Amino acid sequence: MSELNVLLVCGSGASSGFMAANMRKAAKEKQLDMKISARSESEIENYIEEIDALMVGPHLAYILDEIDDLIHEFPIKVILMKKEYYATLDGNAAIEHLQSALQEEG
């Protein structure tokens, strides 16, 4: 399988930046081939053609419909991050959530 390109978004990109760093560390420890980056939610459109999965900060649940409209023709898995691991920036838990969400589609 080729590299999985994951984009994390939050309001300004700051907290998702810390989460992305922790997820990169966890992915490396698990020997997973992932590129994980973080941006502001206002930049999603700029990355749609490059990503396989989009992880959205839990405080941005209200923009999920807007995100669906943006990515409708692209095969991107949209995942709302859970408050439990987002609040503690737990990269391992985020990677596990990402993997289980991707497996749901089969």
Number of domains within the chain: 1
pLDDT at 7: 97
Contacts of 105 (CB under 8 A, 6+ apart): 77
Q: What is the CATH number of the domain that holds 69?
A: 3.40.50.2300
pLDDT at 66: 94
Q: What is the dihedral of CA 37, 102, 66, 40, to 10 degrees?
A: -10
Q: Per-residue pLDDT averaged across 65-90, rounded? A: 94
pLDDT at 11: 80
pLDDT at 24: 98
What tens digit of pLDDT does each residue of 25-68 get? 999 999 999 999 999 999 999 999 999 999 999 999 999 999 99
Range of the domain at 77: 4-105
DSSP 89: T
Q: Are the C-beta atoms of 9 and 54 separated by less than 8 Å?
A: yes
Q: Per-residue pLDDT averaged across 73-90, rounded? A: 95
Hey, how many other C-beta atoms are within 10 angstroms of the C-beta on 105?
7
Q: Are the C-beta atoms of 53 and 7 separated by less than 8 Å?
A: yes
